[in-house]
Each structure stands twice: as C-alpha cells, then as structure tokens.
C-alpha cells in the first residue's frame, strides 16, 4: 500500500510572519514589499492570528494601532501529521488558499497552500505514467523492462526534446527548491540515460547547481533504441546544451487559456 502523503511532507517550513506588536503602519510596509496577500501573526513563535490587506486598509487612518487589536483570531490550523487529502478537503470547504501548520504547543511551523496540494497530486500520478511507458516499450520491443528508482547524474542524460518554455522552467525551479518535483523518467543505456520525461526539471536543476536528480529508471534486459531517441540523435540533439529555452512565448496551453479568457471578456 502506498504511503499516505502528510502535510509535513509538502508544507513550507520557512514561513513569513508578522509579530503581534507590529503597528499598522509597519505592517502596511511589509505588505507593500511582499507578494503575500495575508500573513500569520505570532507572539513568541506561537500563532495568534492572521492579518489581511483588507483589515489593514480598514485601519489605514490609525497607523500606530497594533495589529494584535485587529487580527482575526479564529483560525483553522493543521497539524503536521494530518493527511494531505484531509487538509485539501478542509481548505476547499472553507475557501482557504493557505492553511497554517502548528505543533502541539501552538507554535507556527509551516504553511500548506493550494499549490502544494496540486504539486503533491502531480507527483503521485507519476507511477501510472511510468507503467504506461514501460508497457508500451515492452509491447513494441518484445524486451522485458525492469523499473527502479534512484538518482541519475545530469551529465549522463541525453534529451529527446529540443525546446522548453521559460515560464514553465520557473515553475520547475520552485518545485525543486521546495523538494516537490516529481522524478524524471529515463531509460538506461550502457553509458548514458535517455531522458523521456522531465526536460524542464533537468534544466531547472542544472541552473540551480544540482548535479543529480531522482528518476524512475526503466532498465531493459536487452539494449533497445526507442523512436524518440533515434529522432533526437538524427536532429543533433545529443546533450542538455542542445536544448533551447524559449523565453518569448508562454507554454502553448497557457497561451490558449489566456486567449479564451480575453474572448469571453469581450
């Protein structure tokens, strides 16, 4: 049985917060210099409330007022051992984008977000993709393929995709920094690995100075060459340096979605 994902596995541990004795004026400055729309409020490390931009706006004319007097003190929080699926249900039911995580003493130890929930489901979907590729290769080649999971060196990867998108590359960097990136899918050859899935992750890892990355490794019992490897070789796609980062266009799916939204607004 697969191990159940827990909040502690996906939460952000380095949490931005505002001390409870901060003035409204100072809190506004913090919001202006941040990308966050709300902040947890702490007292000696313990979570005591939440402050939102709307609440600060209501108190704009009282700049010296302390935020402890205006914060929302009725909070929904999670413990780190809560199942991630249960956390998702709580957040959906209450319309929450962020769920604070506290320990048994009430200390703020993390934040779980909608993005974290989505990433976790993407990661858990990977084994199905691996099995699909394994079965397809076995049926075409007639060769039995074993699947293992271990780290592979980036320098030993041969790509099969010549272009990646800059905006999606940033998303993969975010995942890697938080430890949420799904493993690659590669095929083991004698002296290298053919990269089947995960080109954005690989380039993101290389730009972050990462030398190895976790992968689902398909190991054929006999040497085989798949069509995408042959096509890549014939087109001169042999190393990661041959991959082009397209920074003047969004991912096609994002582009289509944006166009549809604009059309609906007309």
Q: At what angle do helices 84-94 and 114-141 cross, to 10 degrees?
A: 130
CA angle 86, 90, 91 (to 5 degrees): 115
pLDDT value of position 28? 93
Residue 124 confidence class, pLDDT cut points 50, 70, 90: low
| Residue 36 CB-half CA count within 13 A | 19
- pLDDT score of 265 more than 50: no
Pairwise CA distance, residues 27 & 66, whole Å: 9
pLDDT value of position 224? 86
**Residues 193/198/199/204 CA torsion (nearest 10 deg):** -110
- Taken in order of first residue, the domains within the chain and their CATH numbers are 7-116 (3.10.580.10), 143-254 (3.90.1530.10)
Q: In sequence order, what are the beta bridge partners of 165?
A: 246
pTM value is 0.56
């Amino acid at each position: 049985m697969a191990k159940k994902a827990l909040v502690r596995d996906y939460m952000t541990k380095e949490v931005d917060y505002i001390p409870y004795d901060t003035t409204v004026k100072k809190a506004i400055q913090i919001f202006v210099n941040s990308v966050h729309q709300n902040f947890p409020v702490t007292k000696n490390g313990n979570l005591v409330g939440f402050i939102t931009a709307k609440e600060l706006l209501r108190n704009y004319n009282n700049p010296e007022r302390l935020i402890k007097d205006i914060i929302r003190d009725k909070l929904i929080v999670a413990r780190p051992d809560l199942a991630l699926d249960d956390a998702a249900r709580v957040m959906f039911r209450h319309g929450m984008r962020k769920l604070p995580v506290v320990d048994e003493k009430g200390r703020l130890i993390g934040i779980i977000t909608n993005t974290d929930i989505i990433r976790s489901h993407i990661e858990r979907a990977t084994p199905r993709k691996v099995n699909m590729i394994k079965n397809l290769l076995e049926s075409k080649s007639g060769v039995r393929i074993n699947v293992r999971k271990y780290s592979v060196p980036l320098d030993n990867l041969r790509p099969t995709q010549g272009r990646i998108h800059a905006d999606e590359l940033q998303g993969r960097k975010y995942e890697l920094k938080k430890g949420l990136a799904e493993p690659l899918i590669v095929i083991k050859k004698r002296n290298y690995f053919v990269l089947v899935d995960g080109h954005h992750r690989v380039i993101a890892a290389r730009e972050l100075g990462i030398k190895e990355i976790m992968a689902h490794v398909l190991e054929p019992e006999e040497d085989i060459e798949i069509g995408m490897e042959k096509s890549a070789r014939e087109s001169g796609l042999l190393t990661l340096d041959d991959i082009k980062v397209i920074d003047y266009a969004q991912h096609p799916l994002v582009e289509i979605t944006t166009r549809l939204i604009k059309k609906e607004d007309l």
